Amino acid sequence: MAKAKKQEHERRVLILDDEPDYLATVCDCFRALSEGRWQIDTAASAAQAVERLKTEVIELVVTDINMPGQDGVQFIGELHRRHPQLKKVIMTAQASAEKRDASLAAGADLFLEKPVSAEGIKSIFEKLSELLDWKNTQGFQGVLRSVGLPDLIQMECVGQNSSILELFNEQPLGRIYIDQGQIIHAVCGEIFGERAFQKLFTITGGTFELLDFEVPPEHTINRTWEVLLAEALRQREQLAQRAQVSGKNLAADSTAAEPVGQTAEMLICSAAGEVLYNWQCADAAARVTLLQAVAQRAEKLIPELQLGKLDRVEIQLPVGRAVLQPRADRLVFMRVATPPKP
Amino acid sequence: MNADFKAWFAALPAIPGMLACGVRQPNGKCLGYGDDKVYPAGKIEKLLKQFGELHEPLAAAELAPRWTTWAFEYGHIRFVPRADKWLLLLIVSPETEAARALDRVANDFLPPTK
């Protein structure tokens, strides 16, 4: 009953496949199974799909892998960067573990084998319906899968990209300008600069989109993106803890001025061990030694694990937790203590 | 290793997205499940030892973890040490049922907190 109610509003779905007969069959079946609730657009190539996405508000994109021009995995990767809130599914007749891993790594939410029976189509439809119904309850919608707002900013900065990250709820909330990997400007309502950047990080319940870069009206941020991000994450964590203690929804409290302090520490050091940023870390030298030791030992494990690069280490402590992020040129460490019980 | 534990552990590979899992007893004996090519038993045993060593500097720095999660590009590793020297290692694909079950499995493995 609940599911039927959820699906009452019309869903916008875009399906890509270069086999017209297959495309027509699947679309007809999905339309019938959705009892008219799915409005389905089609495209025979990634280029056609991109054009559709410029003019239509689409919730879900389902694509084949083997297509003329850009293949489905590359297309999903591009979509994931440009429209992180969009739900993306790969559906292929030639499923393999390698393709599955590549698809999920590129940002697909689901990797499915093309159905070959009516029962299979129904099963796929149900999976896609579940995905359409799935919503994030915290943070920005881009948190879908593993890519959240901090991840996206990191990706843009590490990749030395230039882009504008627009955050919006029912209406635009603000923008973060990234120029060749550096955050140079942020605006949130009447607020500019670092304060705007920090405020955008504390707002929940919205979504975000990556836009092509345009030169901002002014440059209001000078500090490095690592420091900005570290401080923003710390403040967001503290706000979340405070909200948890007080039982409030963070979204309802997004205009709060300063977070209540919680025991925490943060340290960023260069690969050589030079401390670049220290917040409440009593013995920075000891922490640097620890970070280097863990990062070096982990580095040795990477080749035999065959799991790709190490993104982060999350440490669940008896009280609180810590995160260690090893990067090529620096190490980031943050520890957050659990707030005292009221 | 009692029958209940064996049954609990033997059920782990069936969780969708579980690539490998291993457990090490205080006497050094290991039990592991995983793909024979990528994660043969010997490799799981070695990883249990290596991740145990990775925890040593954390414990020395007063960051003794209940568990750690190592997030790689194509997989996550959860390592859970117990005070009685039992060790659990789980390797999962991200964004799968196994990844979502990591906390539950780790809490099942750990003795209940008072």
Substitution target in B56, B66, B74, B102 with the highest count of A β-carbons within 10 Å is: B74
Q: Which of A128, A117, A120, A119 is nearest to A63 (CA)?
A: A128
Q: Does B61 touch chain A (CB under 8 A)?
A: yes
- In chain B, residues with a C-beta closer than 8 Å to the C-beta of A105 are 73-74
Substitution target in A104, A294, A302, A304 with the highest count of B β-carbons within 10 Å is: A294
| Amino acid in position A317 | L
Of A145, A311, A314, the CB nearest to B73: A311
Ordered structural domains, chain A, with CATH = 2-133 (3.40.50.2300), 138-258 (no CATH), 263-342 (3.30.450.30)
Ordered structural domains, chain B, with CATH = 3-109 (3.30.450.30)
pLDDT tops 70 at residue A341: no
User: Interface pTM (ipTM) of the complex?
Assistant: 0.94
**A236-274 residue pLDDT tens:** 777 766 665 565 444 333 333 333 334 467 788 888 888
Å between B72 CA and nearest CA of chain A: 4
| pLDDT at residue A225, rounded to an integer | 84
| pLDDT at residue A183, rounded to an integer | 93
pTM: 0.50
- In chain A, residues with a C-beta closer than 8 Å to the C-beta of B82 are none
| pLDDT at residue A257, rounded to an integer | 31
**A52-63 residue pLDDT tens:** 888 888 889 999
- In chain A, residues with a C-beta closer than 8 Å to the C-beta of B104 are none
Place of tokens 């750990």: B110
Six-digit token string for A110: 């689901």
CA A133 from centre of chain: 18
Residue A335 CA to residue A301 CA, distance in Å, equals 24
B1 SS3 class: coil
**A80-111 residue pLDDT tens:** 777 777 889 999 888 777 787 788 778 888 88
* Contact (Cβ atoms closer than 8 angstroms) between residue B57 and residue B34: no
Of A145, A312, A335, the CB nearest to B71: A312
| pLDDT at residue A249, rounded to an integer | 43
| pLDDT at residue B22, rounded to an integer | 95
- pLDDT, averaged per 10 consecutive residues of chain B (114 residues), comes to 88 93 93 84 92 88 90 91 94 90 94 65
Contacts of A63 (CB under 8 A, 6+ apart): A15, A16, A17, A46, A49, A72, A75, A76, A88, A89, A90, A91
Residues 270-289 of A with CB under 8 A from B: 286-287
| Amino acid in position A218 | E
Q: Does B67 touch chain A (CB under 8 A)?
A: yes
Q: Which band of pLDDT confidence, cut at 50, 70 and 90, is reported for residue A338? A: low
Å between A286 CA and nearest CA of chain B: 8
Q: Does A146 touch chain B (CB under 8 A)?
A: yes
Q: What mean pLDDT comes out for the span A219-239?
A: 82
What mean pLDDT is reported for chain A? 77
Residue A79 CA to residue A66 CA, distance in Å, equals 17
Q: Does B59 touch chain A (CB under 8 A)?
A: no
Q: What mean pLDDT comes out for the span A42-46?
A: 90
